[in-house]
Amino acid sequence: AQAKRLEPDRPQKRLAVRPSLMGMAMSCGQFLWCGDTKKDPASLGFDDHAVHVSRDDDVSIKGVSLDFVTPIGEQSGTIEGWNDPERDPAAEERTQRLKTFEKRAMSNFSLGSGTASSRAASNTSNLGASGSAESGKASAAAAGAKGSRWSSLFDMGTINSESQHPSLADDERMITFEPASMYSSCEPSAINARNSGHPNRVRTTKFTPITWLPKSLANQFLRVANMYFLIIAVLVLFPWSPKNWKSKVFPFVAVLIWTALKDLFEDTRRRRDDAAENSQRCIRLKRSHNSSEEALEEVSWADILCGDVVFIPEDRAFPADLLLAHPAGDGEAFISTVMLDGETSLKNRQAPSICQVVSRKCARDDGDEWQAAQSMLGSAGQMLPPERLQRQLLRFTSNLRQPGVELKFPMPTAVLSDVRGYLQPRGNKEEALICPYNEDNFLPRGCVLRNTPWVLGIVVYVGSDTKTRLNASTSKMKFSNMQVNLNNCVRGLLAVLLSLCLYATIVAVVAEGGFAADSDELMPDARNPLVRFFMFCITFYHVVPLSLYVMYEMIKLLLAFQVNTDSQMYDPVRECKAQARTAEIIEEMGQVDFLFSDKTGTLTANEMVFARCHCGGQDLGEFRPGADGSAGAGLAETRRILLAGKDAEGSFEPLLNIATCLAVCHSVQVATKDGQPFFSGMSPDEVALVQAAHEMGVTFESRVRKKAGQTSELILKGPGSIERKFTVLHELAFTSDRKRMSVIVRHRNTIWCITKGADSVMETLLKEPLSDVCNNDLTTFSKQGLRTLVVGMRCVNPQEFEMWDAEYTTARNIIDESKDERMGEVAARIEHSLKFVGITAVDDKLQEGVPETIELLKSAGIRLWVLTGDKTETAVDIAKSCRLFTDATTMAYATSAGDAQAAEAKLLEAHALLTSKKDTGLVLDGQTLLHALASEECRKLIYDLGVVARSCICARLSPMQKLELVKLVRQQSKRSITMAVGDGANDVPMIQGAHIGVAIRGKEGTQAVQASDIAISYFRFLVPLLLCHGRRAYRRIALFLCYYLYKNIALLMSDVVWMHQDKFRARIAFPEYLSIGLNVIYVTWHLLFVIGFDRDLPDSVACRRPELYHVGPQRALFNARVFTKWMLLAALHGSVAWLIPFFMIGTYEYDSSQPGPFWECSTVVFTSVIFIVNLKLVLVSQNPLSFWITWLPTIGTLLAYLICLGLLSYTPLGKSVQPSMYQVPGEVLQSSKACLAFVITVCGALVIDLSEKISVYMMCPSKLQLAQRETWR
């Protein structure tokens, strides 16, 4: 018999009538014309057609479901009894639904205009795939070649390219799979040509063998000091230089080479790590396949190209960024992204709809073999899968390539969620259909496949373009304020040097023949004033220590090592200690003024326990277990009511509703351990709520994702033995902006929207406002420090859902930057008019030691700000429980401001209240800050309040508001040091924005740790971190900077005194090969021991004496007064060291080539300076009597000096390089005047220092000295 089939007509962009043979070309889901065959169906508007259906459970087209029951007739696949009301009472209703379906589907396709509606974009499944394999094969066999290809592509659920073509960047990329070919091309071709044809090869090294030395030197000369030493090294090459070029060039070159070798060593380790990663093996489908060979080949990661199809077995990492083509098993893949974003929970991924269709075609064509391949794995020790599996993989890729496919995607970005692009069958652009893909179809490099036998993936981004590599760069470099001070000191010393040289040059020229030497006594070149100026620069060049920056970095590394090895901060649970991820800001931990802390997971343990619940107009009571482990009264009563069933009192239905909502509205995964369900998820709150539903009697048992779409099916068991199924149609995720989560589910043909969120948001979404009883319970729960959520639900009209579903799916398919914003807008359109279900309250217990820690930090002079997203009442209660606020605290509130004027008024009122009070606290909220942060006057007020108030709690804040508060303090006070402490990804902006970012290793992944400067396991570890390591680091670095510059100024002053005695001839005062050791040997290496290990108090005492920390925020140990004092002492010591020996020995005869009295006196002076500066370090150390820490390194460095002095004076090498020093030490030791001058000089220089130290200790001791007295008593 003849019939007419309705098929898409490509040229006319409409449904055309095609002749067909009845019974041979009929397949499930096709449109058939069943009217008068002599009439043109188009003229009738398609009002009269029917749909031929076959036996099946579900047929979908373009996102609209057509549900029907199995036919009643005896023969399967017939329509006998379909419309017989007597045999099928629901037939009339079903017939009406079919007609509605037809009209809706036809209007969706907009055949007259040739464009697909937004609802057409929502489908992700193939019509024919829902039917049996037999009907699918019949459909494929009966259709013509062109029509079949077009229809099959049309059934993929793609979008017509004319109606919605993706907006990609101008420099987009494309992978093309040619029909009937194993070869794929990539455009631009330069992508696969990078790295000599190895674009996926990772290179994290900074240098190549050729660029190592030039780049390292270029980086070193970015420092002002190195440029200064370079200029000196050039000047000493001239013949008029007062110093030998070898004594200046060689040490400078040695420092440069040392730093370059250090860079090379670090780069070698990176090169080794790169080689290990690039040499990992993976499986790739061969690009040119011979049927007699295997379809797969094993290659290294470095050999992967863009456009390759790779096979990844379970528990293997992805070698590049992949588009998931096919997951084995249940149609979805699970991946672990812990190394990328730190999240420990598994993420599920699906193939794009066009690939799902190919998978279903493989299942229809070779069902048994294909099905068996889904769980097939290779044998142990082999990477290549079995031959049977290889054949199925080849079949899949052949089917994917058969029509020819183009995969287009934009330039890579570092944002993990920014994944967009589309697949498009090749052909006439008017006919071409596109299938967008997003993050749900994406497999990032380095992530690991879990709980999935294997996957096939298409390589889209390789090498440096992958998300892993784009996110591997470190955050913006942080520089400590002491580093800034050091740079300023160096600039100041250079300015002093230039001024001194200019002064000497002017005097030498102006006072020539009088106070200055006559020009006839100088070499000809030295008579030029400019040359004379450069000669003085060379003479005084050691004013800036050559090894300054090297030693500065080394002592910081030592301090960081001490943090990493401190047993006080050992975590036995994770078996790790604190980790100083950068040593650059180590001393700033001793100067913290403001500490910004997250609450959840930072102050609290992030171990959520369901505590209370409001439902049915009442507080159900306590859900937490009692001291004996028994169930709380509220939980026991809830169980009893739910088990009693509908015959119980009227609270059954409300309790069942809230238990069901908690068991359905979540993204938790469930597994079975020891016969009990085990729930896991990214949010501990969600896990606690699902666990609470389970304890009530409603258990979330499983989540099964349907193969033919984006939906999943939840199985709930309980109360009792009742089992219920919920189909999750959409999950609207929680975000910090939305502050709520929703799921759209279907249960027994009814669609429900279930929402849970913060009460501040949910109040506007409820159909009716919360009752007074609800508000009272909310306030009560909040005052108990519990985290509250409001739960609501509503029944959604099918027509409303269809329209919303089309909009949401269209928004989800957007592939530009507006996607998230658009999805949020559409999601909000269905979250309204909710029926109130109940209120949940979860207890997040404080970590051990938090109250004591906060009390100590406040006593240390640190201002604490706790930033949280909780309600104000909850935040204040937590602040009181952790002793941020006490009963004696004067509290000021600046909350709920409606505009900028109101915010300013509340801030002024709070400032007036807190001024002149001692123990003060401030309460702010996000709404007030929203208006206040936009006003410069309010920003200054907030900072002033932060200074006046010793502690502050900020509620209802978003992550960006946390960052804005940190920035506010940094902008208002350049001097204040800020520290931010957090544990989650939402704390990353705050951690990176503060001077010091501290991460708490928690349960919200490792993103905070990766962004931090220091990682610890518990909040209480801040006490040893700040009061021990931070305080000592500031003291040690301050002492190092002052002392390291002091010793050079002391030597410089001897040069200055000699310059005046020598009448400005610019001659050197000390043997140059002796003086170059000052900054390399004599007064350098022992600093690492004396300063690095000098401990003023035991850790146990330091942790109990927070007042000792005050010197840091007050900058008491390094400021203009302290630095000036050190420089004046240096001038005094240097002058005394020169004048006393020369006054006692009394000789000025100068001969640079022969030993003589001058060099004997010079040696006495230089030795005096070495002993003075070393003994000065002993005096200022915290343990001056300690042999191992103080005296042993000091004696060692003095012995090293004497050895160098002997080598320079009594060896042939010493005689050749420094002839003026030959046997001079022996002459000095034989001279009683010289020995006496040495003793008097050292004692006379240090007597002032020793007297000052004893006087201060006895008459006005510092807090530290008082603590030392008590400890050592």
What secondary structure does DSSP assign to 1065-1116, as a single string? ----SS-HHHHGGGGTTTTSTTHHHHTTS--SS-HHHHHH-GGGGGGTTTT-
| Highest-scoring range by mean pLDDT, 13-27, 369-383, 387-401, 827-841 | 827-841
Mean pLDDT of 814-841: 86
Q: What is the pLDDT of residue 877?
A: 79
Mean pLDDT of 1187-1193: 90
Q: What is the pLDDT of residue 170?
A: 56
**Average pLDDT, whole number, for the chain?**
79
As a whole number of angstroms, the distance between CA 468 and CA 472 comes to 6
Confidence of residue 1074 (pLDDT cuts 50, 70, 90): confident
Confidence of residue 8 (pLDDT cuts 50, 70, 90): low
Question: With the CA atoms of 871, 873, 879 and 880 taken in that order, what torsion angle do they form, in degrees rounded to the nearest 10?
Answer: -160
- Give per-residue pLDDT as tens, 863-910: 999 998 777 877 887 888 888 998 889 999 998 888 889 999 999 999
Q: At what angle are helices 1031-1061 and 481-510 packed, to 10 degrees? A: 10
- Give per-residue pLDDT as tens, 747-801: 988 999 999 998 888 989 999 989 999 999 998 888 887 888 999 999 999 999 9
- Give per-residue pLDDT as tens, 205-254: 778 888 888 888 888 887 778 888 888 889 888 888 888 888 788 888 88
Q: What is the pLDDT of residue 477?
A: 64
- Give per-residue pLDDT as tens, 1231-1270: 888 899 999 999 999 998 999 889 988 888 999 989 988 8
How far from each other are the two terminal CA atoms of the chain, in whole angstroms? Answer: 113
Q: What is the pLDDT of residue 338?
A: 67
Q: Which helix (H) or strand (E) holds 774?
A: helix 772-783
Question: Given a cut of 60, is residue 16 above it in pLDDT?
Answer: no
Confidence of residue 857 (pLDDT cuts 50, 70, 90): very high
Q: At what angle are helices 481-510 and 548-564 packed, to 10 degrees? A: 160
Confidence of residue 92 (pLDDT cuts 50, 70, 90): low
Question: Given a cut of 80, is residue 387 above it in pLDDT?
Answer: no
Q: What is the pLDDT of residue 472?
A: 62
Q: What is the pTM of this model?
A: 0.70
Mean pLDDT of 1144-1160: 80
Q: Is the peptide bond before 1157 cis (omega within 30 degrees of 0)?
A: no
63-67, 312-316, 478-482, 685-689, range with the lowest pLDDT: 63-67
Mean pLDDT of 12-32: 51
Mean pLDDT of 1043-1069: 89
Candidates 319, 322, 307, 328; CA nearest to 401 is 307
The beta strand positions in 1004-1080, using DSSP E, are 1014-1016
Total Cβ atoms within 10 A of residue 195: 16
Phi (first) and psi of residue 449, to 5 degrees: -80, 130
Beta-ladder partners of 846: 604
Q: What is the pLDDT of residue 487?
A: 84
* Helices then strands, each counted (H, E), the chain: 42, 41
Confidence of residue 1053 (pLDDT cuts 50, 70, 90): very high
Mean pLDDT of 131-152: 33
